[in-house]
Amino acid sequence: MPSKALTTTKKPRYPLAPWHVGMANYDANEFLPGHGKGPPKEAQCVAASLLANKGRDPALPKVVITYDQIRSLRRRDDYRALVDTIKQGGIEAARATLVNNMPAYMAAHFDALMWAREKKDINGIATLASPVLKAVLPQEIGPSKAVFNITFSDTRERLLTSERPIIEAEIVPPEEPENAL
C-alpha cells in the first residue's frame, strides 16, 4: 500500500495544465531506471518554469515554479498515470493508430464533403473544406521561423564525438561433425 506522502486520495481541484503534461514528458524521459536520482532540483524547477511560460504573453510576468509545486504535482494520481502512459509508449501507440487509419478518415471526410455538395449545403462544404485547406496549404510563405535547441546528455555527447571503432569480421565455414555420413 503506498504511503500518504506518495499519493493523494482526494480528487484534484483542477485538471492538468499544459505545463503539467510537458513536465510528465520530462519526468518520463529524465528519471530512467539506473540513472540515479535524476536531474538536480534547480534544473527541474528551471525546466518546469520554462514549460509554464511557453506560449505565455510576454507582457505578463514570468511564472516561477518551485520544487514544492513539482513535488505536489508528482503526488497527483492523474499525473502519475500520465507519466506511466508516456513511459509505456501509449501516446506513440495512439499516434500510430491514428496514422494507420488516416486513409479511412480521409475517405469518410471526402464522402461527407460530396454529400454536402449534393445537398448544396454551403455551411457544410465550408466546415469540411476549411480544415483540409489549412492542413495542406502553407500557413506562411517565407523562411521558417522555427528555432531548435537540441541538448545531449554527457554520455550521448561523448558517444557522438568519439571515434567510431572499426569492426572486422571473417566468414568461417561451419565444421563438419565427426559422425557425418
Asked whether residue 144 is assigned to any structural domain, the reply reads: no
Q: Quick one: 115 and 26 in the same domain?
A: no
Owner of C-alpha cell 561433425:
177
Q: Quick one: 23 and 82 in the same domain?
A: yes
Who contacts 75 (Cβ-Cβ below 8 Å, separation ≥6)? 5, 6, 7, 8
Closest CA to 24 of 74, 94, 88: 74
pLDDT of residue 14: 84
pLDDT of residue 1: 43
pLDDT of residue 52: 93
Residue 47 identity = A
Asked whether residue 78 is assigned to any structural domain, the reply reads: yes
Asked whether residue 161 is assigned to any structural domain, the reply reads: no
* pLDDT tens-digit map of 98-118: 778 888 888 888 888 889 889
pLDDT of residue 133: 72
In this prediction, the residues of the chain whose per-residue pLDDT falls under 50 are 1-3
pLDDT of residue 71: 92
Asked whether residue 154 is assigned to any structural domain, the reply reads: no
On whether the CB atoms of residues 131 and 109 are closer than 8 A, the answer is no
Q: Quick one: 6 and 95 in the same domain?
A: yes
pLDDT of residue 72: 92
From CA 65, how far away is CA 46, in angstroms rounded? 8
- Global pTM value: 0.48
pLDDT of residue 33: 55
pLDDT of residue 166: 80
Q: Quick one: 113 and 55 in the same domain?
A: no
Taken in order 136, 137, 143, 147, is the CA torsion positive or negative? negative
Backbone angles phi and psi of 108, in degrees to 5: -65, -40
Q: Quick one: 96 and 106 in the same domain?
A: no
Domain span holding position 57? 1-100
Who contacts 34 (Cβ-Cβ below 8 Å, separation ≥6)? none
Q: Quick one: 77 and 1 in the same domain?
A: yes
